[in-house]
Amino acid sequence: MQGIPSYLVNFDLSSLPREETDVLIVGSGIAGLFTALKVASRYRVVMITKDDPSQCSTELAQGGIAAAIDEEDSPALHARDTIRAGAGLNDPEAVRVLVTEGPRRVEELMEWGIPFDREGGGLHLGKEGAHSHRRVLHAGGDATGAVVWKGLAARAAAEKNIRLLPRTMALDLLADGRRCYGALVLDGEGRVKAILARATVLATGGAGRLYPITTNPPVATGDGVAMAFRAGAEVMDLEFYQFHPTVLAHPGAPGFLITEALRGEGAVLRNRHGERFMPRYHPLAELAPRDVVARAIMKEMDRTGTRCVFLDVTHLDTEMLEKRFPTVVSTCRRLGLDVCRDWIPVAPAAHYWIGGVRTDLYGRTNLEGLYACGEVACTGAHGANRLASNSLLEAVVFGGRIAADILQKEWRIINPPPLSCRLKEEAFSEEDKQKLIKRTMERWAGLVRNGPGLKEATARLEALWPLLKKEARTRREAELSNLLLLARLVVEAAAWRKESRGVHYRTDFPGVDPAYCRHLVLRKEELKVTPLEVWRTEGIS
Ligand code: SIN
């Protein structure tokens, strides 16, 4: 994979309009907002987001935030569940940090006024797949992400040290292979400018738009991972793309999530013949880990020749459904489905990228001054399969740590070296090529993979490769370049991992191979394999 330019656009830093800030945050979801609010006590923050700020995966999150706060629960049990789901690839320290610091961060959200749902004087805790306890906090029933996002966004809007620039897309990091000095951005009027920063935090979310059907919003084109990779940052575990098992299969609401919390309350999955099939696949049935449920659904769809299966909630209490799941109930109703009477058609769809920019336990990347937080990052906490509702938790726990690291540093004056780039200025039509990438990924690098398929995917993506050498002059062109690069990286990583583990499933290597109990770390012009150290859960209390 040769010849990947470091930038998407032609520029010369010395002649670009520029502004300076202490901390630049790219992305406006929970990871970006939480980090911004914490560092704003001392530093000036510029937060950029390429669309309307509410366009983020956080806003769509239904399930909730997992945290061991119940008296009968403990961080050790939460760690055990996280590691069981992670199939041997979790970084034990990242898991320990996640589960032990999680309850305090959740308390902090409540102190900031986030109204988590309560019942009988205490917090109501939901249950989701592969959790051994009820530990999922939620808000507005199944509108957790929207409620949390609104609360944090209002707080950020009132904070004088935070300046939010909507419709401003980060194109690339300004970096010299050793340090990051901020980002090149494309503003709402199509002008390229530089935002120089002492510290830059990537909080750009995932890349669901690599696939035709996704629960992610349209902005999820993986920009953060792509620009970090171009700048020389290490990326890790890219082969692990989580598919959510139950996404509404209805043309009226493509990608609409049907939360796993419904299965936690007793919803069952049926095939077209009405048969409840999950007990045949796993002892935990509908509450098996997500990868198991998603593949079981695919098998049932293949076996019965349909494009969906059905989630049956008709036996559940109507009042409970209306109160706990208002978003699901009302969306289905709008489409003519009465969930109290009708089964909900569902199928797996791309949901969460476990891999991302490799970070340490303080969100630091291998480039000085560059941090990554939330879905864009790979802390190692999720291993090969993320436990449900651990992602909002990861964003606040590691966002808190990034802020702590930034706050305790005495940052030097920003002094970037001369940086510039010259690419071919040729028009490229992006619409059909995006479709091609998505189809390639769905067919050969989706929920089920194999060697010949991945080879075919490589060849198809290779044919588009010359695009990367051309200047991207619009947001859409930049997104296409990012998707193409990321598709190649996912395929490369999936081809390397000749085993099945967690969400990565290969029909030609269907078992776990201990030789692959390690992470694949990729860096531009270099492919590095880092063996995993032995992990333990003892000592977490
Ligand atoms: C869901 O509500 O099922 C999604 C939660 C998650 O992805 O963690």
pLDDT digits (tens, 9 = 90+) for 283-292: 999 999 899 9
Q: Which fold has domain 424-508?
A: Methane Monooxygenase Hydroxylase; Chain G, domain 1 (1.20.58)
Q: What is the pLDDT of residues 117-159, one digit of tens each?
A: 999 889 999 988 889 999 999 999 999 999 999 999 999 999 9
Closest ligand 1 atom to residue 390 Cα is: 8
Q: What is the pLDDT of residues 211-233, one digit of tens each?
A: 999 999 999 999 999 999 999 99
Tokens 């970084």 belong to: 91
Residues 6+ apart with CB under 8 A from 82: 90, 95, 98, 99, 381, 382, 383, 387, 390
Nearest to residue 135, comparing CAs of 143, 122, 126, 144?
126
- Greater model confidence, 411 or 72: 72
In angstroms, the CA 525 to CA 238 distance is 16
- Contact between 24 and 195 (Cβ < 8 Å): yes
Mutational pocket test of ligand 1: of 81, 286, 389, the residue with most ligand atoms within 8 Å of the beta carbon: 389
Residue nearest to atom 2 of ligand 1 (CA): 63
Q: What is the reported pLDDT for 234?
A: 95
Mean pLDDT across the chain: 94
- CA 210–ligand 1 middle distance (angstroms): 19
- CB neighbours of residue 67 within 10 Å: 30
Nearest to residue 412, comparing CAs of 20, 6, 19?
20
Nearest to residue 90, comparing CAs of 495, 425, 485, 533?
533
- CA 80–ligand 1 middle distance (angstroms): 19
- Helix or strand holding residue 32 (H, E): helix 30-39
Residue type, 233: A
Q: Which fold has domain 11-240+354-407?
A: FAD/NAD(P)-binding domain (3.50.50)
Strand partners, 21: 197
Q: What is the pLDDT of residues 311-367, one digit of tens each?
A: 999 999 999 999 999 999 999 999 999 999 999 999 999 999 999 999 999 999 999
Q: What is the reported pLDDT for 7?
A: 95
In angstroms, the CA 55 to CA 52 distance is 6
Closest ligand 1 atom to residue 63 Cα is: 2
- CA 248–ligand 1 middle distance (angstroms): 14
Closest ligand 1 atom to residue 351 Cα is: 7
- CATH architecture under which domain 242-350 falls: Alpha-Beta Complex (3.90)
Parallel/antiparallel/unpaired status of strands 241-248 and 180-186: unpaired
- CA 100–ligand 1 middle distance (angstroms): 21
Percent of residues, the chain, with pLDDT higher than 70: 97
Tokens 């780039």 belong to: 421
Percent of residues, the chain, with pLDDT higher than 90: 89
Q: What is the reported pLDDT for 412?
A: 80
In angstroms, the CA 255 to CA 212 distance is 9
Q: What is the reported pLDDT for 276?
A: 98
Angle at 406 between CA 386 and CA 45, to 5 degrees: 95
DSSP code for 370:
E
Nearest to residue 185, comparing CAs of 176, 197, 194?
194
Residue 62: both structure tokens together: 């239904």
- Place 532 in a pLDDT band, splitting at 50, 70 and 90: low
Residue 403 burial class via C-beta count within 10 angstroms: exposed 0-12, middle 13-18, buried 19 and up: buried
Mutational pocket test of ligand 1: of 128, 131, 387, the residue with most ligand atoms within 8 Å of the beta carbon: 128
- CA 324–ligand 1 middle distance (angstroms): 14
- Which residue numbers are catalytic? 290
Q: Which residues line ligand 1 (CB under 6 A)?
A: 62-63, 257, 259-261, 352, 388-389, 391
In angstroms, the CA 55 to CA 218 distance is 8
Strand partners, 344: 311
In angstroms, the CA 247 to CA 171 distance is 31
- CA 128–ligand 1 middle distance (angstroms): 8
- Helix or strand holding residue 278 (H, E): none
Closest ligand 1 atom to residue 142 Cα is: 2
Residue nearest to atom 5 of ligand 1 (CA): 63
- CB neighbours of residue 161 within 10 Å: 18
Q: Can you give the pTM of this predicted structure?
A: 0.96
Question: Residue 2 pLDDT > 70, yes or no?
Answer: no
Mutational pocket test of ligand 1: of 138, 259, 331, 386, the residue with most ligand atoms within 8 Å of the beta carbon: 259
DSSP code for 337:
-
Residue 379: both structure tokens together: 């802390």
- Phi, psi values for residue 301, rounded to 5°: -65, -45
- Phi, psi values for residue 94, rounded to 5°: -65, -40
Closest ligand 1 atom to residue 62 Cα is: 2
- CA 63–ligand 1 middle distance (angstroms): 5
Q: Average the pLDDT over 364-388 and give the result.
A: 97
Mutational pocket test of ligand 1: of 147, 257, 263, the residue with most ligand atoms within 8 Å of the beta carbon: 257
Q: What is the reported pLDDT for 530?
A: 66
Closest ligand 1 atom to residue 352 Cα is: 7
Q: What is the reported pLDDT for 427?
A: 74
Tokens 């069952």 belong to: 268
Q: What is the reported pLDDT for 63?
A: 86
State the DSSP string of 167-230: T-EEEEEEE-SSBEEEEEEE-TTS-EEEEEEEEEEE-----GGGSSSBSS-TT-S-HHHHHHHH
Question: Residue 468 pLDDT > 90, yes or no?
Answer: no
- Place 541 in a pLDDT band, splitting at 50, 70 and 90: very low
Question: What separation, in Å, do the N-terminal and C-terminal C-alpha atoms of the chain show?
Answer: 45
In angstroms, the CA 177 to CA 298 distance is 43
- CA 440–ligand 1 middle distance (angstroms): 26
Least confident among 93-97, 210-214, 506-510, 522-526: 522-526
Sequence ranges of the domains in the chain: 11-240+354-407, 242-350, 424-508
State the DSSP string of 319-335: HHHHHH-HHHHHHHHHT
- Contact between 13 and 194 (Cβ < 8 Å): yes
